[in-house]
Structure 1
């Protein structure tokens, strides 16, 4: 009987540094795969979601009506050391709302209203001349984006903070934090109609 010899390939031994690199590559690949998995968005009960959405829609409607009703206003201003009369007006605004669920039991929802508009301004020597001005795109002063943030505690929406991004041709963009006194100011310069009904405007300082 003929005997066949069995040849066994010797095991390939990796250098320790090579094994370390291989392990690190595998770990990185696993981490990348985990990062690619879709993250589930926070969920809240359907009834709570409906209540938050409906009450926020009421706030958005009031805000939209408020900014749509703004009219040009005339006032005095200091321009380069000279007191002049100005007429300021705003373009129709784009109002963009958003409601997001959170994982918090205290504030299960947060909301955001973004208002984009253009501000136009013209100057005159007298109040009567300023009143007679018809504002046109040639009087464009700035493009503005106001962002207002709110939180919902399960019963009502509450004001949190606000900011304004101003873009003026030929100048650097400017970001300003807005105090509640500025937002709650009556008339076309404020956004009182975009505040929840439970907000009490701060008393004006003398």
Structure 2
């Protein structure tokens, strides 16, 4: 039964409408569908559908009060509902959507998508710059293509994980003022991370994985 309901919902998107027309224009003007121009916090949302062709019928979105539209660089336009600070905050709403017929819905971390027209590069960090008092710094200890458990870095009690638009996972430790940053960097290097370097926290903050 759930599969049938999902199929019906998807068919509604394409029923006998010219795909070249914007069938969501009225919903956009009413702010029921909101086009996202840049990814920003809160980063978690619930994806209900991703399409490569414009939807043919706005009725698909009738049960949804506010829909976010992400025009992504991979060729898909993603439609989502809700915005959440943490993954766990979205679980109850996800379950409700599945009961309502959106059985393919899932929780999306928008830091893992790239919008058309946005930069695909990671923030530029000058590794040779002297730290500035009054600015908060962290120390990057690793950059990996695939994620690892932060417990792998057993020398540290707290490790922050960041996922950049260049699809690299970065791992950092510490949150110190610039006046103490050099000493913190030396400490981290002495623990077996000779290639560690300082990063102003504000550069990485939007990409932090909670």
The structure richer in strand per residue is 1
- TM over 0.5, yes or no? no
Q: Which has the higher contact order (CA 8 A, sep 6+)?
A: 2
If the TM-score is normalised by the length of the shorter chain, which range does it land in? under 0.3
> Could you state the TM-score of these two structures normalised by the residue count of structure 1?
0.24
